[in-house]
A and B are shown apart, each in its own frame.
Chain A
């Protein structure tokens, strides 16, 4: 055994990464399951069973955080997917100023989320904001984008779309570039209309990009925190709270066990949505 030559690709190469990842990511993740069952002040723990979870599903504002998370994620992911694909088709069709437009659509992706959030909360100001002034200009009533409880979450989702659609577009542009022009040529010869070519050629063949866009934006949407925090802090009331902001609020209030239970719920929610989706995406691929 000792005579065997050591591999030129030794496993200790993995060690620095493995140690950091294990200590700062895996250990806290595993520990979270235990701490979510306790009353906890970071020093002493008291086992209280499923009480934190019971409380979570009993408090209406905590439950609202959960439903808001799903609404927000589905809304932002769906709109980014659809608009991203349409923009990508538009921006690969040989328009004048195409390169400029691509840059303009993509740039917000790289900008500070907090900066974007503050800017849009000013633009959405109920009386002085540019958006409402613009609406008034064309004779429409003013809207309390962030001050009305029934609207706040959707207004933030719109800003999320504004900031993130450029990434979806970029991924779709790369996906479209990989489709051989032969398919379009063949479809044209067969007399397919523009719309038919889009539905029968583009949509099926751009699937790998769709999988990436949907998965990335869903995970991002379910975990989103900073934009919401910068724009409304979860308000008015608890109307735009999501799981990530609930976790932060409970942490600030010193309810560490409850906060950690929120974390576990978020983890389970992501797994529950993403794993079946990934499985479904992969299965469909085999069928093709």
Chain B
């Protein structure tokens, strides 16, 4: 590389950095700064340094709002996310395992269902009708089951392609040693799936935690509120208190940020699955 090339690359890098900072970082800086302001200061909506920092005060005020609704929302969202993701791991891996190991006509049906699950938009009102019939409407466990139903297709697809890399000899050895199908799966296969399981947990947790539409339809009611719905409800309530509204946004942004910092690699693996045909 000549010196002129090197300089040009340095300049392009600097320009790219500056543009990216303005476009991608300013909105987040705006959230943070507004969340630290006083009520009057925040209501001007300006991108300025807070006249007076009151991050902690705003934090406690948001928590206390509407009788600690945000805490309840965090509890509900966590419950839904953990419950649904646990089931998605076990059930998704079981389907992917059978799908990859056993080749019969049924596989075509399963593949068709996976495609349907990825593509077809859920029919909302008929789903409410089914949930009501089963007594699951407006319940947390109903919501968990919905998230499982909607997330299964992606899980199966992810697991199937990974299981293809695990040699059959391993399950056959276990079978010869007298292991039952369930033992083979839970003791031999599932532990080997750990890398893809971590990816799946991270990607699905973020998707379910951030989900707004499904709780809006299937989980109405004050006692069932989830994190995204709280934010949505506060949007109309806090029109005069932008500092608290943005503190709330900051609080829902932090969990994905933490996950992003620790699991960057797994997120990338999960989200680019299928981009490269092998």
| A residues adjacent to B (C-beta < 8 A) | 7-11, 13-14, 16-18, 20-21, 23-29, 31-32, 35, 40, 42, 90, 93-98, 100-101, 103-105, 107-116, 118-120, 122-123, 125, 128-130, 133, 162, 167, 170-175, 177-178, 208-209, 212-213, 219, 222-223, 225-226, 229-230, 244, 247-248, 251, 256, 259-260, 263-264, 266-267, 270-271, 274
Contact = CB atoms under 8 A, between A and B. Distances in A.
B72 interface: no
Contacts of A103: 260, 264
Contacts of A162: 23-24
7 contacts: A13-B97, A21-B113, A24-B146, A25-B117, A94-B9, A105-B24, A128-B45
Interface of B: 9-10, 12-14, 16-17, 20-21, 23-27, 30-31, 44-47, 87, 90-92, 94-95, 97-99, 101-102, 106, 110, 113, 116-132, 134, 145-146, 148-150, 152, 156, 171, 175, 181, 184-185, 206, 210, 212-213, 216-217, 227-228, 231-232, 235, 242, 245-246, 249, 252-253, 256-257, 259-260, 264, 267-268, 271-272, 274-277
Contacts of A266: 121
A96 B14 contact: yes
Contacts of A28: 122-123, 126-127, 129-130
A101 B259 CA distance: 18
B185 A174 contact: no
The main secondary structure of chain B at its interface with chain A is helix
Contacts of A40: 125
Nearest to B126: A28
Contacts of B212: 112-114, 226, 229-230
B23 A260 contact: no
Contacts of B91: 16-17, 20
Contacts of B126: 27-29, 31-32, 35, 260, 263
Nearest to A260: B125
B98 A9 contact: yes
Contact of A178 (B260, B271, B276): B276
Nearest to B277: A208
A170 B227 CA distance: 27
